[in-house]
Amino acid sequence: MEDSELVALASQVRERAYAPYSHYRVGAALLGVSGRVYTGCNVENGVYPLCLCAERAAVGKAVSEGERQFEAIAVVTEDGGTPCGACRQVLSEFGLDIRVIVASASGEIGTFTVRELLPEAFTLAQR
């Protein structure tokens, strides 16, 4: 699957975000090694620590459907923001070489790996 296709799916699901407090809608599209794509959007809550990020929603959906290995995730925000620290750590659980494609609503795109975004990830080897 092309990066542009993942970005388009993330952009579409971004429209479904529930963000009545921050108004910062985020969409994610996670590509499993199986070729399946799992989408997620952010879901806010009046108690901010209970909010769910789009990236973690997509990972949860994928894992609940049996996928455990991922190639890439596209994340679309208004301004091209990268995943938060919690999302970076969750993604690192499944691989430091997962490509993270970050796009803004206006179409600007950047690509990283989880390793680049979280160079000192807490990994299984450290436990």
Per-residue pLDDT of the chain (127 residues; tens, 9 = 90+): 999 999 999 999 999 999 999 999 999 999 999 999 999 999 999 998 899 999 999 999 999 999 999 999 999 999 999 999 999 999 999 999 999 999 999 999 999 999 999 999 987 765 5
Give the residue from 14, 38, 30 showing the smallest Cα distance to 95.
30
Could you tell me the two tokens for 46? 């009046």
Residue 111: how many other CB atoms lie within 10 Å: 13
3-state secondary structure of 83: coil
- The catalytic position among 2, 5, 44, 55 is 55
> H or E stretch including 117?
helix 114-117
- How many structural domains is the chain composed of? 1
Active site residue 55: yes
What residues are paired with 83 via a beta bridge? none
Phi, psi of 49 (to 5 degrees): -60, -15
The boundaries of the domain holding residue 51 are 3-126
The pTM assigned to this predicted structure is 0.94
Residue 19 and residue 38: Cα distance in Å, rounded? 20
CATH number, domain of 26, equals 3.40.140.10
